[in-house]
Structure 1
C-alpha cells in the first residue's frame, strides 16, 4: 500500500531487507491526514478557519507599559519585566503553519541532510516517541525493545499504547583501575540480535545515545550492526537529545541517507537551552517522515515556538549555542574532578564516559566501595529539602545502584552544589 502524500520513487531501498510498508500499521498507511485550513492558503483575507479576526486579547496588566509584560516565576510572583513585543506582534489569532519548511530546511542543513523532507518536528521528542509507537506497533500484539538504563518515556509510551516491552540491559564494563571513569556502558549487540530472533513481534528498538542516565554514546558500529541485521524488519530509533555535548562525528544522523530503517531523534531542549519551547526533531528518510506528518495533530508546533526556533537556528544563535557547549564541557571536566575529590566521603567514581551535560556518580556505603541506594536517597532528599540543591536520584535504574545524576550547571551552581554535597556526605 503506498504512503499517502509521498511521491513515487525509483530509488532502491537500503537496506534491502527493509520495507516500511511492512512496519507501519495498516490503518495508519490507509489514513488520509486531516486537511487543515493552512494546508492550502496562508495569505489574503482569511475567512476559512473560524479564527478571531480582531486579533489576540493579551493586554499588559494595569500600571505596566504596553511594551512590558511581567514574567511569573514558579511561585507565580511577578519579579521580572520581559519585553514580549516580538511575540505579541505575531499573528497569534491565526492558526500556525502546519509544516514549517524554513525550520526544517535549517535543521537539514545543520545536520548534513539533503532536504527538509528528511525532517519532522514534534512537541518535544516525547511526541515523536509516542507517534512512532502508535504508527508502528500494534496494541496487544507487538513490542518495542529498550536497553536499560535508559530514558523513562519509552516504557511509559509503550504502556499507554498497550504494547509490550523487551529489555536488553546495557553492559557495564569493569572498573579500569586507573583512576578514570568507572567502566562504560555499551550495547550488547549479540543479546539484541538474540531477542530479535526469539520474537518477531519487535517493531521498534530505542537506543538512547548519549544515554540518559548513562551519559555514554552507543557506537555507530553497534548501531549499524542492528540496522544491517536481516532478521530485524523494524525501525531503529536513536535518541540523540545530548548529542551536541559529545565529540563531532558521533551522530547517527550521518547514517540516515543510507538506512531507511533508521530514525534519529534530536531536540532544542538541551544544547540550545530551549526546553520551554518544546521542539523535538525526527531525522529519517522521506517515507517515515511522511507517515509521521500524516499522523500528527494538524497544528502541533505553535507560532511562538516556531518564531523562537527560527531565531535559535540563525548563524549568530548557533555561534552562541556552540560557545555554551564548550563552556559546559569545561565545567563538566572541572565538576568531574571535584566530585572525584570527595571520594574519601563515600562518593564513587563517575560511571560511564562523559558525553552529555550531566555526570552519573554513585554514593557508597560509609567505609566501603559498595554502592548504597539507601544512603543515596537520603543524600538526594537532604540536598533538595534542606539545602535547595536538586539533583536526580537514579539508584533504581538497572546498572545504577546508589547513583545520583548531577547536571552540569553554571560555575556558581556547581560551586554551591559541591559545598552542599560535601557537608551532606559528612553527616549522612
Structure 2
C-alpha cells in the first residue's frame, strides 16, 4: 500500500532488509490525514477555519505585569489564527543545522515525548507488538509503551566494567550482540530505543554500535536514537549523519536542553522522508503552536545558534570543574563515591556510599531529601535504575549554583 503524500521516487531503498510498509500498521498506511483549506491557501481573506475574526481577547488591562511591548508582540502573532500545519521554514533551518538534505527529513512534535508516542502508535499494534529498550534509560519509553498497550523487551546496557566513553566496551555501552539476539528471537519487536547520551547515564553510544544494529538483517523495524543531550557531546557524535544512509533510523532531538527552551515544548524527529510523511499523516493537524514556532524560529537564527554554542561550551567547562570538585578528598572522606557514566550530557551521576564503602540507596535517598528540604538544592535520586545503585543525578548549573551545591552537599554528607 503506497504512503499517501510521498513521492514514489523517495521510497526507502537502504538497508535492503528494511521494508517500511511491513513496519507501519496497516490502518496507519491506509489513513487519510485531516486536511483543511489552510494546507493549500494561507493568505487572503481567511474565512475557512471558523476562527474568531475579531482577534484574541488578551488585554493589557488587568495584566499588570505585561508591558505594552509584550502585548504588541503577542498581537503580532495572529493568535486568533490556527498555526501552520507544516512549519517548513523551521524544518529547513533544522535540516541545515543537522546536515540533512531538506525539510522533508524533519518532523516537529510537542516535545520529544510526542515523537516517541507517535512512533509507537504508527508502528506497534496494541496487545501484539513490542519495543526494545536498554536500561538504565529514559523512563518515558516504558510509560508510552504501557499507554499504547505495547510490550517491552529489555536488554540492559553493559552494567559492569570501567567507566567508558561509549563504544563497544565500558560501562553503559550498548551490548550489540545481545540486542541482535533479542530481535532475532522475537519478530514482534518493531522499535529499538537507544538513548545517546544516555539518561540517566550521560554516556554516548558509539556510531559503530548504532550502525551495527541498523545493518542487522534480522531486525525489520526502526531504530530510534534519542539525542536530547547530543550538543553537550563531542562534535561529530550525532547519529543524524546516518539518516541519509539508513531508512530504518529515526533520530529524536529537542530544543529543551542545549537551546534552553524547555518551556516551549518542541521535539524533533530526523528520518527518511517516508517515515516523516507517515508521522505527518498521523499527527494532530496543528500540533505546534504559533508562539512555540515563533520562539523556535528565533532560536535557530545564526546569532542565536552562536549564543547556544557559547552556552554549551560554558556548561561543558563547568561540567569538568564540577566533576573535579566531586572527586575532592573532603567529599570522598564523607562517603561520596565515584562519578559514573561517560559524562557527555549536561549532568553528572555520582554514587553515595554507606559505612561499608558500598553504594547505599537509603543514604542516597536521605541525602536527596535533605538537600531539597533543608538545603534548598534539588537534585534527582536515581538509585532505583539498573547499574545506578546509590546514585544522585546532578544537573550542571551556573558557577554560583554549582558552588552552593558543593558546599551544601558537603554539609549534608557530614551529618547523614
- TM tier relative to shorter chain: over 0.9
In structure 1, C-alpha distance between the alignment counterparts of 2:40 and 2:380, rounded to whole Å: 47
Deviation string 1:230-274 (CA, Å, 9 cap, x unpaired) is 010000000000000000000000000000000000000000000
Confirm whether residue 40 of structure 1 aligns to residue 28 of structure 2: no
**In 2 relative to 1, CA 134–10 (structure 1 residues): closer, same or farther, beyond 3 Å?**
closer
Instruction: Supply the RMSD in Å over aligned alpha carbons.
Output: 1.5
User: What is the count of residue pairs matched by the alignment?
Assistant: 409
Paired position in structure 2 for 1:362: 351
Paired position in structure 2 for 1:343: 332
- TM-score computed with the length of structure 1 as normaliser: 0.93
Unaligned runs of 5+ in 2: 165-169
Superposition deviation, residue 184 in structure 1: 2.9
In structure 1, C-alpha distance between the alignment counterparts of 2:162 and 2:179, rounded to whole Å: 24
**In 2 relative to 1, CA 143–12 (structure 1 residues): closer, same or farther, beyond 3 Å?**
closer
Give the counterpart of 2:222 among 207, 226, 235. 235
Superposition deviation, residue 89 in structure 1: 1.9
Give the counterpart of 2:185 among 154, 179, 198. 198
Give the counterpart of 1:311 among 298, 310, 320. 298
For residues 205-354 of structure 1, the aligned pairs below 5 Å read 205-341=192-328, 342-354=331-343
Deviation string 1:375-402 (CA, Å, 9 cap, x unpaired) is 0000001111111100000000011001
- Which is further off, 96-105 or 57-66? 57-66
In structure 1, C-alpha distance between the alignment counterparts of 2:150 and 2:66, rounded to whole Å: 51
Paired position in structure 2 for 1:9: 9
Answer yes or no: is the 8 Å Cα contact 1:119–1:281 preserved in 2.
yes
**In 2 relative to 1, CA 281–65 (structure 1 residues): closer, same or farther, beyond 3 Å?**
closer
Paired position in structure 2 for 1:77: none
Confirm whether residue 393 of structure 1 aligns to residue 393 of structure 2: no
In structure 1, C-alpha distance between the alignment counterparts of 2:59 and 2:234, rounded to whole Å: 46
Answer yes or no: is the 8 Å Cα contact 2:228–2:253 preserved in 1.
yes
- TM-score computed with the length of structure 2 as normaliser: 0.96
Answer yes or no: is the 8 Å Cα contact 1:59–1:66 preserved in 2.
no
Paired position in structure 1 for 2:55: 55
In structure 2, C-alpha distance between the alignment counterparts of 1:143 and 1:255, rounded to whole Å: 24
Question: Secondary structure of the equivalent of 1:207?
Answer: strand
- Which is further off, 84-93 or 35-44? 84-93
Deviation string 1:107-130 (CA, Å, 9 cap, x unpaired) is 000000001000000000000000
Answer yes or no: is the 8 Å Cα contact 1:147–1:206 preserved in 2.
yes
Superposition deviation, residue 352 in structure 1: 1.2
Superposition deviation, residue 331 in structure 1: 0.4
Superposition deviation, residue 83 in structure 1: 3.4
